[in-house]
Each structure stands twice: as C-alpha cells, then as structure tokens.
Structure 1
C-alpha cells in the first residue's frame, strides 16, 4: 500500500508538471508563434527591411488632430499595431495594418519624434510633419506596455 501511495503521489506530481506543458498550452504557444511569423511575413512584404516584431497591440484606431476645429478626426485606419525593428535606417517603425481600408499607417521611430500617453491614447508628432496623430488602444494594458 505504501508503494501504491508513493506511485500515486509521484504520478500526481507528474500530472501537475504535465499540466504546465499541456497539449492545449503547447498548441496556444504554437498558434501564437505561427501568428507572429505570419504577421512578420506580411510586414516584410510591405517593408523588406523589417526583421523583427518587437511589440504589438491587437487593435488601435488612428486619429488626426484638426487644428481648425481643435478636435480629433478619425482617418479610417484601424487594426493591429506593430513596433518593428528594421535592418535599414531608421531602425524602428510603427505599422498599423489597416482592417478598414487599403492604406496602412507607417511611422518611423526616431529620436526626434514626440510621444505622449494620454489615457487610452498614444499621441505622436512626427518631426517631418505638421500633423499630430493619436492612436486609441482598445485594451488599456497594451498602450501602457507599448
């Protein structure tokens, strides 16, 4: 009986370890890796210099600040946001792969870009443009991480 109990405890412990390596968890991780690789392939077709996805947000909506009305205008760009590393200069770039239309949003990340976090928004002012861009994040924790 002691032997039986010992084997049962060992077996139970092994099941606990196996739970952390469950087929479902392994499948989820594999799916995430496949999705990441697929996104990297798509981004590489748009910009062949892209070599890595550093971070991403599942859903953002892009707005432009209108100085005449002193308000934000939605510009029909929304989708997944990617922060990428590139083999070319500038070495980092924002991409929003647009689900609402054919035009994506791309912005180089350089030392002179102005960035600010306001609530659920990431506000940026590109150095080579008079436009102020706001990105609204569907999930608050994503904009904090980015």
Structure 2
C-alpha cells in the first residue's frame, strides 16, 4: 500500500496496537497497556505557567510522527478538561491550558469518556469535566 509515495504496511488493529505499545514502552517502560487510540490529533499549547510535583498513575501520550518529542500528560492530580468537539481542552497540574484537535469527532468523545471514567474512579474530589454531547 502506498501513501504519499511512501510504502505503508497493511497491519491489522491488534498488530498496530502491539507495535504502538512497544514504542510507548521505549518512552516509558512502566506503560502497561493502551486504553484508547485516536488516529489523528493536533496539540495546541496556551501560555499559563506553574509547577507540578505528583507521580502519575494514568497518562495520555500523543506520539509525534515528525520527531521524538512526544506529548505526555498526567491524568490524575490537578487535571481538568472540557470537550468542545472536535477539541479536547485541558489544564494540567502545571496549570498549562492546552487543546487537542481530533480529526475524528467520535474519537474525541471516546477519549473524553475514558478520561471521565478514569477521573471518576481515581480522583478523591469530583472531576471538573464538561463533556458536551455531539449533535448527530
């Protein structure tokens, strides 16, 4: 299969997930599994500064296809998010406000729902999330 003149392997979903897990484990050997995958997102960074000092139990990672500078964010602690499909806006423990654009609106909703389940299960205080339903 060819994509933009590049030879692309035809891998099934399970094989792709295993390969992605291997790559993530090179970044962080403690990664145990991939809970959800979005095929195409764009990361936006906003200017708000502070510091962070908690050890994560759950993280999300946006793997950069252009270089090895990947985005890694901790989900527990002072993490807040809001969904405005196709955007997932969030404030991390460092008080940085960022946004992720999803090519596929359904994947945006699925990631937000997973965040909600994780935060509800592991946070001691109620989550500060707003998931807006998509009009279909």
CA distance 1:97–1:54, change in 2 (3 Å) = same
Which protein is richer in helix relative to its size? 1
Q: Higher relative contact order by CA 8 Å / sep ≥ 6: 1 or 2?
A: 2
Return the TM-score normalized by structure 1. 0.60
1:99 CA displacement: 1.4
Contact 2:85 2:109 in 1 (8 A): no
Q: Output the aligned Cα RMSD.
A: 1.8
Partner of 2:62: 96
Counterpart Cα distance in 2 of 1:102 and 1:131 = 21
Counterpart Cα distance in 2 of 1:66 and 1:108 = 18
Counterpart Cα distance in 1 of 2:40 and 2:30 = 24
* 1:49-90, Cα deviation, whole Å (9 max, x unpaired): 0001001100100001247xxxxxxxxxxxxxxxxxxxxx52
Counterpart Cα distance in 2 of 1:54 and 1:95 = 11
Partner of 1:57: 38
Return the TM-score normalized by structure 2. 0.65
Partner of 1:47: 28
Give structure 1 regions of 4+ aligned residues with deviation exceeding 6 angstroms. none
Contact 2:41 2:101 in 1 (8 A): yes
Report whether the alignment pairs 1:131 with 2:96: yes
Structure 2 stretches of 5 or more lacking a match? 1-9, 49-54, 112-136
Counterpart Cα distance in 1 of 2:18 and 2:27 = 14
1:118 CA displacement: 1.2
Which protein is richer in strand relative to its size? 1
Contact 2:85 2:108 in 1 (8 A): no
Larger Rg: 1
Counterpart Cα distance in 2 of 1:118 and 1:65 = 16
Q: Number of aligned pairs? A: 96
